[in-house]
Structure 1
Amino acid sequence: MKRRKGVFLLWTVIVVAVVLLLLPSVFLGIRETFHRERIGEVVADEMFLVQEVLEIQKYNRVFHESVPYPTGEVMRNGRVYQVSLKEIRIDVDGVPLTELVCTVSANGKFSFSATLDMEVPR
């Protein structure tokens, strides 16, 4: 009978040791998952901001309006983003185009950029 109690105690110690060895890897995995989720949120915010700026610019140029668009420092979802818009005149096969380049960056770590080419009104 005493021998069985010792075996049970040994198994209990082994199980506790294995659990304690596995816990750090589980916590590190969860931490990495949350970190990647935050990065994904920042990238998604940047993409939506770039899309918003370019769509408003396209609307303004097509309908000759002056709807304001976000520039400079913009706050979204508790984070500050730097939005910049550049306008470059280019010629493609004799057709004058305006290339709009919008770049959004979050704290200088991540940035997303997109371009939109539009025909210059004559």
Structure 2
Amino acid sequence: MKRKGFVMIYALASIAVCGLLSAAAAFTVSQSFTWEKERDRSLDETLIAQDVMEREKYNHRFGGEPSFGSETERNGKRYEISVTRRPRMVEGIPMVEISCLVQGEGSEGICLSTLLEER
């Protein structure tokens, strides 16, 4: 008789441990999906900013029209693009600083900058 109660306590303890382990696994999987979404958004922002900067450098060197911002969509998400140009002097050399800020919804965004010689 004493043995049957002892087995029941073991069964309840094992059910509790299994429940705790499954809850921890569910939280870990949920957190990994959240991090993956953040990484995807960050990667999209970086690739968009890199593309915009390459076009701006090309336009600056070969006389194309500069762009000053727009919006784009990538992988079903909207991103706002802001491009600024500022004249700068670096050790007596006239330069232009080109900055590109790309922000997704609810994101701090990514900002890339480069210096180019004035034409």
What is the CA deviation profile of residues 58-86 of structure 1, one whole-angstrom value per residue up to 9, with x for unaligned ones? 122223345x8794221011111100000
1:87 and 1:98 in contact (8 A); partners too:
yes
Equivalent residue, structure 1, for 2:99: 101
Equivalent residue, structure 2, for 1:18: 17
Equivalent residue, structure 2, for 1:55: 54
Q: How does 1:63-74 map to 2 (within 5 A)?
A: 63-66=62-65, 71-74=69-72
- Structure 2-normalised TM-score? 0.86
3-state SS in 1 of match to 2:109: strand
- Structure 1-normalised TM-score? 0.84
What is the CA deviation profile of residues 28-75 of structure 1, one whole-angstrom value per residue up to 9, with x for unaligned ones? 111111111111111111111111001111122223345x87942210
Equivalent residue, structure 2, for 1:81: 79
**Displacement, 1:109?**
2.5
CA, structure 1 residues 108+34, in 2 after alignment: closer, same or farther (shift >3 Å)? closer
Equivalenced residues, count: 119
2:85 and 2:98 in contact (8 A); partners too:
yes
